[in-house]
Structure 1
Amino acid sequence: MNERPRRQGRTRISRTFWHCLTAIVLLAYLVTALSLSSEAWSERRCAGLRIAVNDTTSMKFVTAGELARELGIIPSRAKGMRLLDIDTDSIERILSRIDKIESAQAVRLSDGFVLVNVDPMRPVARVFDGDKSYYINREGKRISADARYHIDVPVIQGRIADTQSMARDLLPLIDYISADSLWNSLVSMIKIDSPTDVMLVPIIRGQIINFGTPDNFDNKFRRLRRMYTEVLPVKGWNNYDTISVKWSGQIVATRRHKQLSRPAVEVEEVDEADDIGTMLAADGIAPGTALPGQKPRSEKPIPAAKPHK
């Protein structure tokens, strides 16, 4: 009667023993394999450097060839060295010091190559500050301008003491202009006269818009749109030299009291009113009537057009 329980107990002990033995053998194999693999890895030679620039735009602001030159003799010396002797931290430090680089990461790969991944800066505006010119990213970091490349981004002109605060204040305005087809075509530059006098320079020669402080975008651009679609087509595109939406609820336009001087170089005789009218029509807005004859000059500001009831 007691023989069966004893046999079952011996069977359980036997199974436990074999399970433990199998686990020990597998562990020993794993330790040996890892040791051999580690030894082989420590002696693996570098096959070279691969530089990848993570730039999905067409700017080509940073190129792999340019980065290879910045690394000097490192790429040529790396080939044939032991992978473990490649100082990846040094590669990252050298590249991170370049103002056009957002981040750099160097990693050793199992195929023997060292992969250098680089994220370039994303310029959002170009600043002309006195005799200096540079690009800025969204955080306000300066990026030196170089004659070897040109990036089509909005232009800002003025004395800029703190690019970080300037970027924080002006980037919402830049984004707003860029997102609207009319203003993106019409505004050629942003000029900073003071923190409360941000000027928009349109493509209409001899005209400037005082935007005031960079805020309340919807309201201010709504007033400007009425000026450019209801007033200027009737009064004349060159009839006013300054348009201001600085003050709440108003459009103040100052009549031009001097004739525009003829440009030093005339490349093509194209009526500026036709160009603006084309933009307004493309934006789904009727451009209004043709330019009338010259009106009597007056410096008295005109009020905003009253809304139709």
Structure 2
Amino acid sequence: MLRKFDYSWLLLKRSLWLILPIAGIGMAESKLGQQRCTNLVVSIQGDSGTRFLNQMDVQMLLTENGGDPLIGARLNDVALHDLENRVRRNKLIKKCQVFRDLKGNIVVEVEQEKPLARWINTSENGEMRNTSGYYINHEGVFFPLSESYSARTLLVSGAYFNNPQKLRSEKGAQVLELLRFLNTDPFWKAQVTQLNVDKDGEIDLMTLLGDQRVELGMAEDFESKFKKLRIFYDKVLSSDWSRYKRISVKFQDQIVCE
């Protein structure tokens, strides 16, 4: 009988160790839910040099331009998921998470889109037609320009980019990989100022030193083409960068210059 009593008491103690923390959390959650929002804390993550949006822009998205104020609202009445959806509607924002802290703040963590390239509308001779265009991110997704900030990134042009779906094709994946390469290789990132892709996928590059047009051809096997071009730069052009205005590496095992 004593053993049975001891066993029951031990089971009760173990149950209390489980129940009390859960009850405490529930009471804390209930108390927090009755609190009113004291502040909006906005954190914008991503490339520190890119500022498509500032904290006030995010606050205006959260409150529907001030039409749905959050300061003073009971936290239980605030739909955090709806706030996340409000912020995500802005195409300059890649990710958003909204939560509340123990101080009664609504905390918003935002990650901006990071541009890989910027498409510009040009004429056939390469002149910019207007300021219209869009950015392309690292996944090949197009997103709009910002009214308050212009990112310094690779310029791209050409009819190939008129159809957003092309970058999601097998051939488009190679073009996208080329854009990533030009953003990560220090030499070519500094040297290539603009990339043009025609409707068939033929690629031309404009360079900084020598102001040359480089005919790359199709995007496949681009790394070997750049290796060949780099050797040509070092062996031939390093003594006179303006020697040629057109260089073609589109054909296998040869370089054509004019």
Report TM bin, short chain. Answer: 0.7 to 0.9
Corresponding residue for 2:44?
Answer: 53
Corresponding residue for 2:252?
Answer: 248
How far apart are residue 12 of structure 1 and its match? Answer: 1.1
Is residue 133 of structure 1 aligned with residue 125 of structure 2?
Answer: no
Corresponding residue for 2:213?
Answer: 208
Is residue 155 of structure 1 aligned with residue 155 of structure 2?
Answer: yes
CA gap 1:182/1:118 in 2 versus in 1, 3 angstroms: closer
More strand by share: 2
Q: Secondary structure at the match of 2:106?
A: strand
- State TM-score, norm by structure 1: 0.68
| Counterparts of residues 218-257 of structure 1 (less than 5 Å) | 218-233=223-238, 236-254=240-258
Deviates more, 1:92-101 or 1:153-162: 153-162
Corresponding residue for 2:126?
Answer: none
Choose which of 72, 87, 95 in structure 2 pairs with 1:95.
87
Listed as ranges, the gaps of 5+ residues in structure 1 are: 1-9, 255-309
**Higher CA-based Rg:** 1
**1:139·1:164 contact (CA, 8 Å) conserved in 2?**
no
Corresponding residue for 2:66?
Answer: 73
Corresponding residue for 2:190?
Answer: 185
Give me the whole-angstrom Cα distance separating, in 2, the residues matched to 1:157 and 1:140: 15
Tell me the C-alpha RMSD between the 2 structures.
2.8
CA gap 1:39/1:233 in 2 versus in 1, 3 angstroms: closer
Q: Secondary structure at the match of 1:222?
A: helix
**2:32·2:104 contact (CA, 8 Å) conserved in 1?**
no
How far apart are residue 30 of structure 1 and its match? Answer: 6.5
Corresponding residue for 2:200?
Answer: 195
2:166 is aligned with what amino acid?
S
2:77 is aligned with what amino acid?
D
Q: Secondary structure at the match of 2:138?
A: coil
Give me the whole-angstrom Cα distance separating, in 2, the residues matched to 1:37 and 1:163: 49
Is residue 62 of structure 1 aligned with residue 63 of structure 2?
Answer: no
CA gap 1:112/1:157 in 2 versus in 1, 3 angstroms: same
Deviates more, 1:100-109 or 1:124-133: 124-133
Give me the whole-angstrom Cα distance separating, in 1, the residues matched to 2:29 and 2:146: 46
How far apart are residue 212 of structure 1 and its match? Answer: 0.3
**2:210·2:241 contact (CA, 8 Å) conserved in 1?**
no
Q: Secondary structure at the match of 1:240?
A: coil
Give me the whole-angstrom Cα distance separating, in 2, the residues matched to 1:233 and 1:14: 93
1:145 is aligned with what amino acid?
L
Q: Secondary structure at the match of 2:115?
A: coil
CA gap 1:13/1:154 in 2 versus in 1, 3 angstroms: same
Give me the whole-angstrom Cα distance separating, in 2, the residues matched to 1:125 and 1:103: 20
Give me the whole-angstrom Cα distance separating, in 1, the residues matched to 2:22 and 2:198: 71
**2:40·2:59 contact (CA, 8 Å) conserved in 1?**
no
- The percent identity for this pair of structures is 24
